[in-house]
Amino acid sequence: MSRDERELGSAWTKFQRLSFPGPSPALARYVARYWDVSWNYETPYRQLIVPYPNVHLVFNRSGGAYVTGVSSGHQIRVLSGADGVFGVAFRPGMFRPFLGRSVSTLTDRTVDVAEVFREPIPDPLTVSGVEEFLLSQLPAADPRADTAADAVSLIIAKPEITTVAMLATALGTNARALQRLFAEYVGIGPKWVIRRYRLHEVTERLAAGGAVDWSALAADLGYADQSHFTRDFKSIFGESPTRYAERY
């Protein structure tokens, strides 16, 4: 895949403005963060979107809104002209109460906002306006949603968890039950989520500098061999780990 040179050296910041406001206490149970981005590109920019296990509600500044499910791999979005979006990143597991059905029905999909929410889109698009919209849509409490969210939080907090079996043991359950829970509430399997956050740790190690023993690193992350590690890394980041290290 051809990557845009403006990714390097934070050159993209000359053309984009990005902020991540936090949710109010009333919505912190459901919302991980908001994200507000605007851009002005005379030459179209190929934006790499690296996936995390969040469902997003996205409002276009130019009009319209949509919901994106969890993406199993990276995506490329082309940004051009002057425009922007305001997004809501829901905590993993916590969009299921709003959706009213398995979150796996949204995986690798984008649907119009009207498929999920019936109220008019907030105008203007401000944090307070979007929060008022979400508060008007609050669903009934769902303890299983909290269980799924807590499971993902444990994956993030415990780098030593590298397999579904280890996660199941930590949570006092079994792998099959976890797979059902994650399909219903997160939208993607626990194995994918574990590896996604372990791969995030790879980029942090690369940022710290120094030589990397790729074979040993793959083993540390729970991979049977380096080729499987490389395949997963490329699926998420769009290039091999060695190419990523060379570029950054």
CA count, 13 A, side-chain hemisphere, 67: 21
- Listing from the earlier edge strand, what are the strands of the sheet with 16-19? 16-19, 31-49, 75-90, 56-60, 65-68, 110-112
pLDDT of 13 > 80? The answer is no
pLDDT band at residue 196, thresholds of 50, 70 and 90? Answer: very high
pLDDT value of residue 220: 87
Residues for the chain: how many in total? 248
pLDDT of 1 > 60? The answer is no
pLDDT band at residue 176, thresholds of 50, 70 and 90? Answer: very high
pLDDT value of residue 205: 81
Q: Which residue has the higher pLDDT, 241 or 67?
A: 67
C-alpha dihedral (236, 196, 28, 94), degrees to nearest 10 = 90
Q: Which residue has the higher pLDDT, 212 or 155?
A: 155
Give per-residue pLDDT as tens, 53-68: 999 999 998 888 999 9
In whole angstroms, give the CA distance from residue 240 to residue 178. 30
pLDDT band at residue 20, thresholds of 50, 70 and 90? Answer: very high
Least confident piece of the model among 94-98, 107-111, 145-149, 225-229: 225-229
What percent of the residues of the chain are helix, what percent strand, and what percent coil, each to the nearest 5?
45, 20, 35
Does this model's pTM top 0.85? My answer is: yes
pLDDT value of residue 174: 98
pLDDT value of residue 11: 65
Q: What is the DSSP string of 108-152?
A: T-EEEGGGT--SPPPSS--HHHHHHHHHTT-----HHHHHHHHHH
pLDDT value of residue 9: 61
Domains present along the chain, CATH in parentheses: 5-135 (2.60.120), 143-247 (1.10.10.60)
pLDDT value of residue 178: 98
pLDDT value of residue 30: 98
Mean pLDDT across the chain, nearest whole number? 91
